Amino acid sequence: MSSITVLGFDYGTKSIGIAIGQSLTGTGNPIGSIKAVDGIPKWEEIGMLIEEWQPDIVVVGLPLNMDGTEQEMTQRAKKFANRIKGRFGVKIATQDERLTTADAKARLFELGGYKALTKGQVDAMSAVLIIESYFENLYD
């Protein structure tokens, strides 16, 4: 099976974390984060990322309640995913991200202590975890 490239987004109303991943290794790497105003990014920034990384699929984290039910942010993340698909014509998937922020903080803390826990880094690491959980679900 050939490797697929995945661009992952941790959607938020003020900041959107971004990571890139490869199915060959099943891992992701943080790229950073972009600012959003009430959940709306500068679409040209998203376009530049898609142009640069040429992903086979874009995965957007879905924030669900702990019991698996949807919340307002779930709908907003789905809308964000649909807009990426509509604007850039890329394949889209969504991935349950219920525990990614806590996991991202734990992983960053292990790597660099409190100084590693900036908002942008946490969002980017959350995007890495979204990609990695997407890969895990592909092979389950």
- Of 94, 91, 8, nearest to 46 (Cα)? 8
87 Cβ contact list (under 8 Å, min separation 6): 43, 46, 47
- Which pLDDT band holds residue 55 (cuts at 50, 70, 90)? very high
Of residues 112 and 1, more confidently modeled = 112
Question: What is the residue range of 111's domain?
Answer: 5-138
Domain count, the chain: 1
CATH number for the domain harbouring residue 62: 3.30.420.140
Of residues 33 and 68, more confidently modeled = 33
pLDDT of residue 105: 73
* pLDDT tens column, 2-27: 789 999 999 999 999 999 999 988 88
pLDDT of residue 52: 96
